[in-house]
Amino acid sequence: NYEPLIGDVEFSHVDFEYLEGERILTDFNLKIKAGQTVALVGETGSGKSTVVNLLCRFYQPLAGQVLIDGKDVRERSLGWLHSNLGYVLQSPHLFSGTVKDNIRYGKLDASDEQIEDAAKMVDAHEFILRLEKGYDTDVGEGGSRLSTGQKQLISFARAVLADPRIFVLDEATASIDTETEQVIQYAIEYLMKGRTSFIIAHRLSTIVNADLILVMKKGKIVEQGTHGEL
């Protein structure tokens, strides 16, 4: 079950609804070749985060398939998904426990030094040291004792440490200050390099670097091309 991953991602004829009868995606199709960066843009409510929810297997399609390397994600174990797919979500969710545990996550053999290096990479080290007990601070239920921006930084650090083949970013709009944003930009570029990346971006700087940009509207891709083409 832990065979090496190439990193092809495909949505094939996916239909999806959160509530019965309220269709969000209809015959949604998408192919990302291993190593490519695809940026998804589109108006609020168009279904961008829903695509991420399906790729990360937080929800299941009503019809159709989400495939990684040609195999339905439903056939992969959660352990496999955790080690191969790193994600930073729009509303990042941490689990109760310390900052350190949350960065380490599935990578149980990570040393304190590796954890701190990952945090430094995304400029999270400083704010973590300012917390009551530093890396041993309890983040509270779901991370409730931290701000959204802080939770995102911890999610970024987790992704850097995990070093997954596939990186998914559902960028938050306004939870990170400008200074941190520059460092985050660096972390995003680092995380996109050499792996399949699926980025829901608001910042032009992130979008410009994508191999392919998809524009979504009402659950469908209505336009696609490079930044130069669109």
Q: Which does 143 bind (CB under 5 to 8 A by kind): Mg ion, ligand ATP, none?
A: none
Stretch that binds ligand ATP, among 26-34, 48-56, 78-86, 121-129 (CB under 6 A): 48-56
Cβ-contact 76, 68 below 8 angstroms? yes
CA distance 77 to 48: 24
Stretch that binds ligand ATP, among 46-54, 104-112, 134-142, 181-189 (CB under 6 A): 46-54
Q: What does the binding site for Mg ion look like in residue numbers (CB under 5 A)?
A: 48-49, 90
Single-letter code of the amino acid located at 52: V
CB atoms within 10 A of CB 155: 24
> At closest approach, how far in Å is the CB of 170 from Mg ion?
6
Q: Does 206 bind ligand ATP (CB under 6 A)?
A: no
Stretch that binds ligand ATP, among 42-50, 128-136, 147-155, 159-167 (CB under 6 A): 42-50
Residue carrying structure tokens 């545990």: 101
By CB under 6 A, the residues from 5 to 34 that bind ligand ATP are 18-19, 24
Q: Does 47 bind ligand ATP (CB under 6 A)?
A: yes
What DSSP assignment string belongs to 128-192?
A: HHHSTTGGG-B--GGGTTS-HHHHHHHHHHHHHHH--SEEEEE--SSSS-HHHHHHHHHHHHHHH
Tokens of 132: 């009551």
**Residues found near ligand ATP in the complex (CB under 6 A):** 18-19, 24, 42, 44-50, 90
